[in-house]
Chains A and B, each alone.
Chain A
Amino acid sequence: MKTIEPSSGVVSPEAIPPPSTDMWQRRHILDLDDFTRDEIELVFETADAMTEVLTREVKKVPTLRGKTVVTLFYEPSTRTRASFELAAKNLSADTVSLDASKSSVTKGESLIDSLRTIQALGADIIVMRHSQSGAPYLAIQHVNCSMINAGDGWHAHPSQALLDLYTIRHHLGQLANLKVAIIGDIMHSRVARSNLWGMTTMGARVVLCAPSTLLPRGLNNFLASCHLSNVSIENKIESALENADVVMPLRLQLERQQSGLLPSLREYIQLYQLTTERLSLAKQNVLVMHPGPVNEGIEISPEVAHGTQSVIEKQVANGVAIRMALLYLIAGGKNK
């Protein structure tokens, strides 16, 4: 599988030809709720240039030389963390990786103190994953460095949503008027929430599908209050899949069954697993996506996860380009 063509011109090994970043004002990336379509397009264009870098033999450009990127993860993560760190290294940033579950946090240090310490150590950009919704919003009130939200509680995971959007755009050309079905544990999903904003901003129609125990009770009012008229809610997976252009089952945490939100995994599999048979309800060229990690045989059958319509690995690859783009844009868009 080849990556897409770089969007513009010849790329010199030293510098990326940046799309004009004049419109980029952000110092932080916390969620996509306030992103404009133009900003998302700019991220895409920048990611196109990064994708080109990733096809080179030496996947490294000096853009962020001398900058320090700290990844601070309060929750375990494999792919997101590796993706950000590779992205930072590809841009020649110095990276420091802090596993907060093993650091002074367990000695009772507050989030704010930890962040101030990291800032004092010279971090330019902090990439943070936290189990508490809203943690990065607290963070930016207390530190001056740039903050990228790598997932906060149930709330947001903007880089994942951007790479999802980017993957769809790559395969289907654009997002406008596409039907995207997000299936599964919407209640606890930061991926679903960020994708809601991103997808609707790009003109896609989103169907959220889950048993009612995995939907937030206030979801309808949330959609109405935020004028997200292009989003609908379905309990039946068959209706959600009908004519879908994109289908994204979410990881089902096994503890959801234990806490009583589901009668049994067996029933969830019967009613909600994305199977080959169910997938046939969607458009023929439907994209199957998954934010990972996949529970094969639970929310998605192995055949579908590894089938011809699956772009799950592609999402992971695109993740590096998107995160390079975000780091690049956050750092100011050019060498200073």
Chain B
Amino acid sequence: MPPALLISGGHIIDPGQGIDKVADLLITKGKITWIGNKGTAPSQPDLTIIDASSFIVCPGFIDLHCHLREPGFEDKETIATGTKAAATGGFTTVCCMPNTNPPLDNQTHIDYVKQVAETQGTVQVLPIGCITKGRQGKELTEMGELARAGVIGFSDDGDPVTSPRIMSLAMDYSQALGLPIIEHCEDTELSDGGCMNDGWVSARLGLKGTPKAAEDIIVARDIALAHLTRAKLHVAHVSTEGSVELIRRAKEKGIAVTAEVTPHHLTLTEERVMGSQLEKNDHLTYDTKAKVNPPLRTKEDINALIQGLKDGTIDAIATDHAPHTTVDKMCEFGLAAFGISGLETAFACLMSLVHSNQLDLKTLISKLTSEPAGIIGTRYGELGTLKTGCRADVTLFDPNKEWTVDSRDFASKGKNTPFDGYRFKGRVITTIVAGKVAYGDKLS
């Protein structure tokens, strides 16, 4: 049993409960047991006190969308390294996507992930199961059994379910189970091998572009199917203005749709593919670290995504942490793997939106805690809250601490970040998972 912890004098923000005040927070036996005025906590034997007086204390972050790569791609990431990266980034719960090898399309594979996470994981891992067997888009998985095994939703992420018929069946089936279908919205016939946004940069670089419409079309299709089936639809990694508008209208009509956006889609544009502004190159670069699917879009899309977060159209911020090896990325742009290793930069990157007054801190925290918790539901207990009696998942951060990203310091095996060398303001100081310190910032 972890020792009792008193987080003292921090500014507690818990959007789920509407708490926004300086207070002490007591953790005993892995649970939050008391919140109250500084210095008034009930006395405890063997109490460890964390001085949080210059920090913000909030529920541990929840990542609805990450790739832990195990089983099958352990050279990219393992559950051990991925969850360590999660803790470093302030995440206490991560939902892992099933596009492993073999894919998580049956109970045995889900059990394997849960068991490895239990023994080797630093944070809580909630698996997502495949929609179709082998992610082939042909036959539904045994979704009932997967649900019993503990998946929090279904996704063939990495690929969409191309057949609208199969998708409607998946939704019908999952509706009865009460679990969301999490869709990677991409019309692959339209994107047709595109490797970045279809726009001026792709025209200039001579790269094949993926038009925004490739996303919008599947978002529209799936909203129509969610309307038809009354299933829960969760749109993964929204990247376009058009998707935001479609989701907004669907929500207005009462369709059960939720959505997430990634930190990189909120902060980077297609121009990043030509190289970082930090690098004073005389010539162009084709930066594979900025190659991600869906691709980095435009300033207009970023504005729409931020507006979507503010008005509730977009419920959650998820990393889509997609670690890759150096070999996967150190090659020709068109041949490089898609994805960004995002767990360890997500929060600091998002704080840049707060510091530039594009997003307020409370909204940001709710998109990382109470709102994704609402999408997961309560089968794993109440998540994303500092309510007394709940599992003590707590993140402490310093909103003003400046630091420079160096991927060599990542806990993740994936060093594939477009933010290398970026100077950020805002850093996770301590991550507490079930009452235990899972991460403590070595810089502080």
Contacts and interface: CB of A to CB of B under 8 A. Distances in A.
B410 interface: no
Given A190-B206, A218-B202, A138 B331 contact: yes
Contacts of A137: 283-286
Contact of B205 (A112, A155, A225): A155
B140 interface: no
Contact of A221 (B199, B211, B285, B331): B199
A292 interface: no
Interface in B208-242: 209, 211
A306 to B, nearest CB: 31
Nearest to A192: B206
B330 interface: yes
Nearest to B197: A218
A154 B206 contact: yes
A225 B286 contact: no
A102 interface: no
A323 interface: no
Interface stretch (B70-78, B332-340, B375-383, B401-409): B332-340
A10 B76 CA distance: 63
A111 interface: yes
A225 B331 CA distance: 27
A49 interface: no
Contacts of B204: 193, 218, 222, 225-226
A39 interface: no
A218 B273 CA distance: 15
A28 B204 CA distance: 20
Interface stretch (A55-63, A127-135, A239-247): A127-135
Contacts, number: 87
B1 interface: no
Contacts of A219: 200, 203
Contacts of A130: 332
Contacts of B200: 218-219, 221-222, 224-225
B147 to A, nearest CB: 42
B283 A217 contact: no
A153 B202 contact: no
A134 B283 CA distance: 11
B327 interface: yes
Given A34-B283, A217-B198, A218-B209, A133 B203 contact: no
A297 interface: no
B205 A217 contact: no
A7 to B, nearest CB: 29
A216 B201 CA distance: 10
A291 B190 CA distance: 31
A103 interface: no
Nearest to B275: A137
Contacts of B211: 217
B46 interface: no
Given A217-B199, A217-B211, A193 B282 contact: no
A138 B198 contact: no
A266 B205 CA distance: 31
Nearest to A228: B204
B437 interface: no
B327 A222 contact: no
Contacts of A193: 204, 206
B283 A216 contact: no
A156 interface: yes
Size category of the binding interface on chain A: 20 to 34
A217 B202 CA distance: 9
A222 B200 CA distance: 4
Contact of A133 (B205, B285, B330, B331): B205
A110 B325 CA distance: 14
Contact of B331 (A31, A112, A155): A112
A34 B282 contact: yes
Interface in B74-106: none
Contacts of B284: 30-31, 33, 134, 137
Interface string A23-66: 00000101101100000000000000000000000000000000
A219 B204 CA distance: 8
A221 B201 CA distance: 9
Contacts of B202: 216, 218
Nearest to B270: A218
B206 A218 contact: no
Interface in B160-206: 198-206
Contacts of B268: none
A133 B199 contact: no
Contacts of B330: 110, 112, 138
Interface string A121-149: 00000000010111101101000000000
Contacts of A34: 282-283
B207 interface: yes
B286 A216 contact: no
Given A110-B327, A130-B332, A138 B286 contact: yes
Ranked nearest first, the 8 interchain pairs of A and B with the lowest CB-CB distance are A134-B286, A155-B206, A154-B206, A221-B200, A132-B332, A216-B203, A218-B203, A133-B206
27 contacts: A28-B283, A30-B284, A110-B327, A112-B330, A130-B332, A132-B333, A132-B335, A133-B206, A133-B334, A134-B206, A134-B207, A134-B284, A134-B333, A137-B283, A138-B331, A140-B283, A155-B205, A193-B206, A216-B203, A216-B209, A217-B203, A218-B204, A221-B199, A222-B204, A224-B200, A225-B204, A226-B204
Interface of A: 28, 30-31, 33-34, 110-112, 130, 132-135, 137-138, 140, 152-156, 190, 193, 216-219, 221-222, 224-226
Interface of B: 198-207, 209, 211, 282-286, 327, 330-335
Given A138-B332, A155-B207, A218-B203, 18 more contacts: A30-B283, A30-B284, A110-B331, A111-B332, A112-B330, A133-B205, A133-B333, A134-B332, A134-B333, A137-B285, A138-B286, A153-B334, A156-B206, A216-B202, A218-B200, A221-B203, A222-B200, A222-B201
